[in-house]
Structure 1
Amino acid sequence: MFYRDGAELVAHIDRDAAQVLRQCAAQLTELLGDDPDRDDPVVARLFPDMYRNDPEAAAEMRELTEDDLRLAKVTGFSEMIADLPRNGGDVRLTEESADVWVRGLTDMRLALGLRLDIRDDTDFEAEIDDAVAADPTSNRVRQLAVYGYLTGLQGSLVDALMD
Structure 2
Amino acid sequence: MTMFRREGAECVADLTADEVRVLRKVASEVVSLLTEGFDHEDPVVGRLFPDVYPDDPLEAAEYRRFTEGDLKTGKIDQAGAVLATLPTDGAGEVRLDPESAEAWLRAINDARLALGVRLEITDDTDVEEEVDDAVLRDPGSSRVFQLSVYAYLGYLQEALLDAVME
Q: In structure 2, what is the Cα distance between the partners aligned to 1:114 and 1:120?
A: 11
Q: What TM-score do you get using the length of structure 2 for normalisation? A: 0.95
Matches within 5 A, 1:100-139: 100-139=103-142
- Counterpart of 1:67 in structure 2 is 69
Cα-to-partner distance string for 1:125-150 (whole Å, 9 max, x where unaligned)? 11111000001110000101111110
Cα separation, 1, equivalents of 2:37 and 2:133: 37
Q: How many residues in Structure 1 have an aligned counterpart in Structure 2?
A: 163
Query: How many Å separate the matches in 1 of 2:56 and 2:27?
Result: 32
User: In the alignment, which residue of structure 1 is the partner of 2:56?
Assistant: 54
Structure 1: distance between partners of 2:80 and 2:50: 23
Match in the other structure for 1:97: 100
Check if 1:29 corresponds to 2:31: yes
Q: Which residue number corresponds to residue 8 of structure 1?
A: 10
Among all aligned residue pairs of Structure 1 and Structure 2, give the percentage whose two residues are the same amino acid: 52
In structure 2, distance between residues paired with 1:76 and 1:60: 25
Helix, strand or coil at the partner of 1:92: strand
Equivalent residue, structure 1, for 2:148? 145
Structure 1: runs of 5 or more not aligned: none
Amino acid at match of 2:114: A
Distance (Å, rounded) in 2 between the aligned partners of 1:96 and 1:75: 12
Q: Could you tell me the TM-score, scaled by structure 1's length?
A: 0.97
Alpha-carbon shift at residue 24 of structure 1 (Å): 0.8
Q: CA deviation at 1:34?
A: 5.9
Is 1:161 aligned to residue 154 of structure 2?
no
- Computed over aligned residues only, the root mean square deviation of the Cα atoms, in angstroms, reads 1.1
The equivalent position to 2:43 in structure 1, one of 38, 41, 44, is 41
Q: Runs in 1 of length 4+ with deviation above 4 angstroms? A: none
User: Residues 59-118 of structure 1: CA distance to partner in whole angstroms, max 9, x if unpaired?
Assistant: 001000001110111111111101000211111001111000000000000000111111
Unaligned runs of 5+ in 2: none
Question: Which of residues 1, 19, 29 in structure 1 aligns to 2:21?
Answer: 19
